[in-house]
Structure 1
Amino acid sequence: MSGTVTTVDTGERRVSRRAVVNAPVAELFALVADPHRHAELDGSGTVRADTVEGPHRLAAGDRFTVPMRQMGVPYKITSVVTGYDENRLVEWQHPLGHRWRWEFADAGDGRTEVTETFDWGTSRSPLMARLLGFPAQNAKGITATLSALVQRYAS
């Protein structure tokens, strides 16, 4: 169903949500593959738009730095692209080991099925991630991100 954010079971220690967005795959992929535009996507409210460092189009192995703010504290995160398949997949790993993954599939009629995943099983300390509430916190952020993306392209 177009516009609805659903939970997807992608395995233990992964939080995934999916939505069908009324926009072509290439347009959505270009948005996610440009770290300078991540603040446009962020439903968690932690990504800031200023001083992003890195390419405007990610590729496997690229590094990029994004300014963040949580609980009023500013900081920067440098991530490494660990997965890339043009118009299908972009994934990056944070310094603490967890990964963010975006998958795109053509849903027909100019629509795209978008799946976003927070993989905390790759974290250096999955137990600490669980204790700090990262899975639940990021599930809310992913839902907000995908809901906003659906709204952005609503016809």
Structure 2
Amino acid sequence: MSPSAYLQTRERFIAAAPHEVFELLANPAMHPVIDGSGTVRAPSGQAQRLALGSEFGMQMRLGVPYRISNTVVEFEQDRLIAWRHFSGHRWRYELEPDGSGTTVRETWDASRLRHKWLLRLLGFTRTTGPNMERTLERLAAQFPEGER
């Protein structure tokens, strides 16, 4: 399978300032609201604002309920936030000012995993791209253009 299957990126213009988008992404309580995969259910424990080194859990459901732990591994206020799951793959959001809004780039990076075959077997290499597109659509919907 192509290495690009394990490193996927999507981007979208969001009609909001980078600070507004960043604050939403740094709030784990909002992750179920914007999740395009339908698997993120709720934060585990107190949903505190994320910062570099923050550890946070999420209640998930993919057929059966489970919990996943994450650690914020990249953080640049209003520009970049990324967290790593226990297995090592990362979700990264990069924000760039773009006229009256922000271009948001979401990246799923599973390129460093040892057991990539498992992601392929579970269908993640096929479904992650479309799920990221839905996530970015849901993120954009949090900032309706006419309400600014």
Common fold, TM-score beyond 0.5?
yes
The alpha carbon displacement at 1:151 in A equals 3.1
- Distance in 1 (alpha carbons) for counterparts of 2:97 and 2:135: 19
Partner SS, residue 136 of structure 1:
helix
Q: Which amino acid aligns with 1:95?
A: F
Match of 1:150 in 2: 140
Moved over 3 A (4+): none
Letter of the structure 1 residue corresponding to residue 71 of structure 2: V
Residues 88-136 of structure 1 deviation map (CA, whole Å, 9 limit, x = unaligned): 1110111111110011010022x00001111011224123222322122
> What is aligned with 1:45?
38
Over the residues paired in the alignment, what is the CA RMSD in angstroms?
Answer: 1.6
Give the secondary-structure state (helix, strand or coil) at the position aligned to 2:133: helix
Q: Pairwise mapping of residues 1-150 of structure 1 onto structure 2 (< 5 A)?
A: 12=4, 13-49=6-42, 51-53=43-45, 56-71=48-63, 73-109=64-100, 111-150=101-140
Q: TM-score normalized by structure 2? A: 0.88
Equivalent pairs counted in the alignment come to 142
The residue type paired with residue 138 of structure 2 is A
Partner of 1:121, secondary structure, is coil
TM-score relative to the length of structure 1: 0.84
Following the alignment from structure 1 to structure 2, what is the Cα–Cα distance between the partners of residues 54 and 124?
32
Give identity over the alignment, percent.
37
8 Å CA contact retained: 2:35, 2:135 = yes
For the 8 Å contact 1:123–1:129, the answer to whether it is kept is no
Q: Is the 8 A contact 2:33 2:138 kept in 1?
A: no
Please say if residues 94 and 104 of structure 2, whose CA atoms lie closer than 8 Å, have aligned partners that are also in contact: yes
